[in-house]
Structure 1
Amino acid sequence: MILVQSVTSVILAYYMQNVALPIRVCSSLDKLNRDFLWGSTDERKKMHMRMSFYSLGLYSTKARNLVLLAKLNWRVMEDPNSLWANTLIAKYYPNGIMDERLRSHRSGFSNWKGLKKGHEVFRKGLRWVVNNGQEISFWHDLWVGDSPFRSLVHGPLSVWEDSLRVCDVVEGVSMWNLSTLSLAIPTCTRESIKAISVCPNRPLADKRFWDSVGGLVGGGGVIRNHLGDWVGGFSRAIGVTTSVQAELRALKDGLNLAIDFGILNLEIEMDSLVAVECVNSISTPNVFFSTIVTDCRSLMERFEKCSLKHIFREANGCADLLTKAGYNQNPDFISFPNAPAYVLEALAFDVSNATRFRLISS
């Protein structure tokens, strides 16, 4: 299984970042991985449990290909001044990367075809973090909830309302004035809007962030003493949510477990930089994470000494395995007073002086 996860499933990732693989190729690759894992051949078939019963953490090639191509769209948006992005924008994105109506080209090199394949996933995963609200369309951009407000409206909007920005319905600091709208906003959505800290005169500009479309995820963590010995661990089936929210849920579970153990001094390491910054920031958390971030901050105050820092996933292998185990487990939450067998190798590696290489883009 380790060979499949680290070699055969990953070896094509370089190509899938730029090229949209045919569906038949993706299906063949998935079949090769399954046959290799279970020892199946054309002459001798092996039986195994359905994926709905259990998951070994193997990626669907087609789904991973789409996500990587969506990430390529993100890179075009984040680095528009680079030579390669400039070329693509000039030829294929005359109205910008966010234009839904991309130019159709019968011909075109593989990068363009890949960008077009991943564009829908890219757009669906984009959200806005509100700071001053000057760049965000009130109706057409996704900045609160699960879909743009325009999807709630049947029929045309007035010219004024159609061009409305978030800052146009703010008076002073976080004083929302929704009474100017001709259409009623649902009560639950109004409460979510009021929870957002926004100031039209704030110099900090609005920002986009891209997260994967919410999917079925798990959470997990391990508590060790200063020698690296196992104190306790857990895994949880979280359900359908985003990766950042899953990381924050796992942090909350870990804090509660540490409190149950009577730990006074705690040093927390997480491989999600976004989650770490959300909790450590002195500002009001964004509405998408406000409740869970507030809970985590409150729990951290119960320790005599508590710190939270970011590390790379390569240095967090034991927790990563527990997270994958929790993806589709039953019951939803499992606490481990002793280390389960499948993390022993990673646990020993974490406390050793051995190093693991990390590939980074230049």
Structure 2
Amino acid sequence: MEKDALWVKVLNSKYCSSRRLIARNCDRLPCSKTWKAMKVGREVFQKGIRWIPGGSSNLSLWHDNWLPHGTLRSLIEGPLNAEDESLQVKDVFGINGWDWSSISFHIPNLVLVEINSIPLSVRTNQGKDRLIWAGANRGDFDLKPAYALAMGGELAEEAFNGNWVWKLETIPRIKTFI
């Protein structure tokens, strides 16, 4: 994350002061047009981001958005006991892959398939958790899906436009393979 970046420090000191944090009505405090726009866009931003867990992930297994289609808690019905509730991603994923023995119930197979859809190279990243824009292949923010979210649409993954394959000058077997 960029928590040490200058722009983050400026916004934190200006808009996350103790006065603002304890104010009864934060919306009535003076702020810039940029900050107002950021407050309005927060909901869209929250819908459009997700986390890529690192090797030493501090993400909540249930409540943080690290799966491609929402939180794990939104995919599981019923109550969680206190031990399950406090689990983090690093508690169930290690060098040998996923270890679900620390959970007191069975995770449905459809949910396990979604969890296993996260590429192995990303899951074994030994770094910190990374925040990405879920609507883009590379994880960089993209205005088109953000606008679609703001207009009430859903965040759709980019479709593969493979028309170029048929224009390749190669044998038909390779075109079909690609």
TM-score, with structure 1 as normaliser = 0.35
1:184 aligned onto 2:93 = no
Deviation string for 1:63-119 (max 9, x for gaps)? xxxxxxxxxxxxxx746521x432321343469xxxxxxx72302222221111011
Aligned mates of 1:205, 1:108 — CA distance in 2: 35
Aligned mates of 1:214, 1:156 — CA distance in 2: 36
Is residue 56–residue 126 contact of structure 2 (8 Å, CA) maintained in 1? no
Secondary structure of 1:254 counterpart: helix
**The one of 141, 153, 164 aligned to 1:254:** 164
Q: 5 Å matches for 1:141-290?
A: 141-151=64-74, 152-155=76-79, 157-158=81-82, 160-173=83-96, 175-196=97-118, 197=120, 198-199=123-124, 202-210=125-133, 211=135, 212=145, 215=148, 241-242=156-157, 245-246=158-159, 249-250=160-161, 252-255=162-165, 257-259=166-168, 263-264=169-170
- CA 206–112 in structure 1, closer or farther in 2 if over 3 Å, else same: same
Secondary structure of 2:13 counterpart: helix
**The one of 52, 57, 67 aligned to 1:129:** 52
Q: Structure 1 unaligned segments of length 5 or more: list them.
A: 1-76, 96-102, 217-238, 265-297, 300-362
Is residue 61–residue 89 contact of structure 2 (8 Å, CA) maintained in 1? yes
Number of residue-to-residue matches in the alignment: 148
Secondary structure of 1:105 counterpart: helix
More contact order relative to length (CA 8 Å, sep ≥ 6): 2
Is residue 56–residue 127 contact of structure 2 (8 Å, CA) maintained in 1? no
- CA 91–162 in structure 1, closer or farther in 2 if over 3 Å, else same: farther
Root-mean-square deviation (CA, aligned residues, Å) is 3.4
Aligned mates of 1:127, 1:133 — CA distance in 2: 17
> Offset of 1:240 from its aligned partner?
7.0
> Offset of 1:144 from its aligned partner?
1.5
Aligned mates of 1:123, 1:241 — CA distance in 2: 15
- CA 177–79 in structure 1, closer or farther in 2 if over 3 Å, else same: closer
Q: Give the letter for the 2:156 counterpart.
A: T
Secondary structure of 1:208 counterpart: strand
Larger Rg: 1
Deviation string for 1:32-66 (max 9, x for gaps)? xxxxxxxxxxxxxxxxxxxxxxxxxxxxxxxxxxx
Q: Give the letter for the 1:126 counterpart.
A: I
Aligned mates of 1:79, 1:107 — CA distance in 2: 24
Q: Give the letter for the 1:164 counterpart.
A: L
Secondary structure of 1:209 counterpart: strand
Q: Give the letter for the 1:254 counterpart.
A: W
Deviation string for 1:136-157 (max 9, x for gaps)? 2211111214111222344454
**The one of 10, 14, 26 aligned to 1:104:** 26
What percentage of aligned pairs have identical amino acids? 28
Secondary structure of 2:131 counterpart: strand
